[in-house]
Amino acid sequence: MGRDLFGTDGIRGEANIYPMTAEMALRLGAAVGNFFGSVKGSSRRVVIGKDTRQSGYMFEYALTAGLCAAGMDVLLLGPVPTPAVGILTPSMRADLGVMVSASHNNFRDNGIKFFGPDGYKLSDDVEAEIEGLVEKGATLSPAQSIGKAQRIDDGLFRYVERVKSTFPSGMRLDGLKVVVDCANGAAYKSAPEVLWELGAEVIPVGVNPNGQNINEDCGSTHPRLAAETVLEHGADIGLCLDGDADRLILIDEQGQIADGDQLMGLLASSWAQEQRLSGGALVATQMSNLGLERFLNARDISLERTKVGDRYVVERMRQGGFNLGGEQSGHIVMTDFSTTGDGLMAGLQFMSQLIQSGRPASEALSVFEQIPQLLKNVRYAAGQAPLEKEEVQAAIKSAEQQLSGSGRLLIRKSGTEPLIRVMAECENDDVLTRVVDDVVQAVSRACAA
C-alpha cells in the first residue's frame, strides 16, 4: 500500500487545495476512526489539538465530523502545542491523538498529524493502511452509535504542569531574564506562563495570533526578532519556538543564534557525564553538522543518523533504547519526558544547564566548531522528477568527487514542501559554494525543461 497522502510529518499542504481540503479531512477522520475504533479494547476516544491558523477551525470540525460518524468520541483541546497532544493522548486514555498544524509553514498551509494510543507518531506502515481505508471509503456507524464531541477546558493546564515537572526539582529561574518568541502560534499562552511560574522575568513576543500571522517574521524560522529583543532588553537568553512549539532555536545574551546541533551537543555531553545518556549515543538526522559528530566521537559518544524527520529520530531512539535525539532545525526529543520534540521542555533543560554551570548562554552554546554548511532549495512542480535527469546525476557525481575526503553532500526531497534540498559540508568555503551551486543550477535547469 502506498503513502501518497502522508509526508515525513503527517499530511500537509495549502488549505482548500488537495489534499488539505475539508472533504479530505472528513474522509480521513472516518478512516482513522474505523482503524482505531476496531482495535480490541478501544476506548473510542480521540483528542484533537490545533495551532492558531485560520483554517484550523475548518479542519478541526471536519475531522470531528468524520470521527463521530465512525463512532468515536472527540475531545477538543483547542490551541495547544503538538507535544501536548502526544502527552495527553495516553494520559486521557484516548486511542488516537490528532494535531492540526503545518508547523513552521506560513498560515496558508495546514497539516494533520496523528499520534497512537502510546502518544507516539504513527509508523509508515500504519499510515499506509489508513490511506487504504481513505481510498476504500469508511464504514459509518448506525445512528445510535454516532460519537459525541466536547471541549476540554483544562488540556492546556495539564500540559503546563507536565512541562514544569520536567524542570529539576528545587531549581528556579529566579534572576533570569528570558525572551520567548512563540511565533504567534500554539504556545502563545503556555510558554510565557511556564517560564513566569518557574520564576523568570519574561519578555514575550509573537503572542498575538490573528489566524494569519503564525510564523510571520518571528519564531524559530525567523529568529532575528528575538535576537533584537534580547539585545534591547539585556536578556540572558532567548527561546524561539515554531508555530506548533515542537522545535526550539536559542539566542544567547549577545544576540547570537544557535541551532539544534549545539543544544544536542551540550545535552549529550552533560548527560553522558551524569551517566544519564541511555545507550551512550545521540540520535540525529543526516542534516546534523559533521562538527557535532566529531565532538561527540571525541567523548566516546556515538551519533546515530536517520532520515530527516523527527518521527524517524524517535523510531530509532525507541529501537535502540536511546533517550536523547533531535534535528538541527530544533526538534529536541527527550523520551524521559515526552514522546516527541518539545521546544519548551528543551529550553528548560538548557536553562538548567546554565544555572548549574553558572556560565552565560554564549559560552554554553559554543559546544563545538561547526564545519561550514550550505543549504539551498529548488522548488519543483507536481509531476516533475528532476533528480532522475542525467544532467543532475552527473552534477551530483562531480560534486561528490570534489568533496571526497573533505566533506559530504546530501540531496533530498523535502517531506513537507515541493522542494529539492541541496546541502553540503566542507572546510573549504570556495569548494563548498561551487559544488552546491553546480547541483542547484543543474536541478533548476531540469525543472525548467
Euclidean distance between CA atoms 194 and 2, whole angstroms: 42
The DSSP H or E segment spanning 156 is helix 155-165
- Among residues 333, 364, 395, the one where a domain terminates is 364
pLDDT at 216 over 60: yes
Q: Is residue 42 part of a domain?
A: yes
Model pLDDT, residue 3: 67
C-alpha gyration radius of the chain: 22
The average pLDDT across 352-379 equals 95
- Residues spanned by the domain of 130: 11-153
- Smallest Cα–Cα separation from 412: which of 402, 424, 401, 420? 420
Task: Give the residue numbers annotated as catalytic, written as ranges.
Answer: 103
Q: Do both 216 and 301 map to the same domain?
A: no
Instruction: Report H helices in 1-152.
Output: 22-37, 56-69, 82-91, 124-136
Model pLDDT, residue 173: 98
- What CATH number is associated with residue 205? 3.40.120.10
- Among residues 340, 364, 388, the one where a domain terminates is 364
Q: Do both 228 and 209 map to the same domain?
A: yes
Q: Do both 264 and 244 map to the same domain?
A: no
Q: Is residue 420 part of a domain?
A: yes
Q: Is residue 2 part of a domain?
A: no
Note the pLDDT tens digit of each residue in 261-313: 999 999 999 999 999 999 999 999 999 999 999 999 999 999 999 998 898 99
Model pLDDT, residue 379: 94
Euclidean distance between CA atoms 28 and 257, whole angstroms: 39
- Among residues 342, 364, 386, the one where a domain terminates is 364
Model pLDDT, residue 104: 93
pLDDT at 235 over 60: yes
pTM of the model: 0.90
Note the pLDDT tens digit of each residue in 18-53: 999 999 999 999 999 999 998 888 889 999 999 999
Q: Do both 16 and 131 map to the same domain?
A: yes
Q: Is residue 61 part of a domain?
A: yes
Q: Are the beta carbons of 278 and 319 closer than 8 angstroms?
A: no
pLDDT at 157 over 90: yes
Q: Do both 95 and 217 map to the same domain?
A: no
Note the pLDDT tens digit of each residue in 396-442: 999 999 998 788 999 998 877 889 999 999 999 999 999 999 999 99
Q: Do both 303 and 326 map to the same domain?
A: yes
Q: Do both 146 and 185 map to the same domain?
A: no
Provide the strand spans (E) within 380-431: 407-413, 419-426
Model pLDDT, residue 2: 57
Q: Is residue 73 part of a domain?
A: yes
Q: What are all long-range contacts of 409-413, with beta carbons under 8 Å and residues at least 24 apart?
A: 409/435, 409/439, 410/286, 410/287, 411/387, 411/439, 412/286, 412/308, 413/387
Q: Do both 128 and 171 map to the same domain?
A: no
Q: Do both 146 and 163 map to the same domain?
A: no
pLDDT at 1 over 50: no
Provide the number of structural domains found in the chain.
Answer: 4
Euclidean distance between CA atoms 173 and 169, whole angstroms: 12
Total H helices, total E strands in the chain: 14, 18
Q: Is residue 325 part of a domain?
A: yes
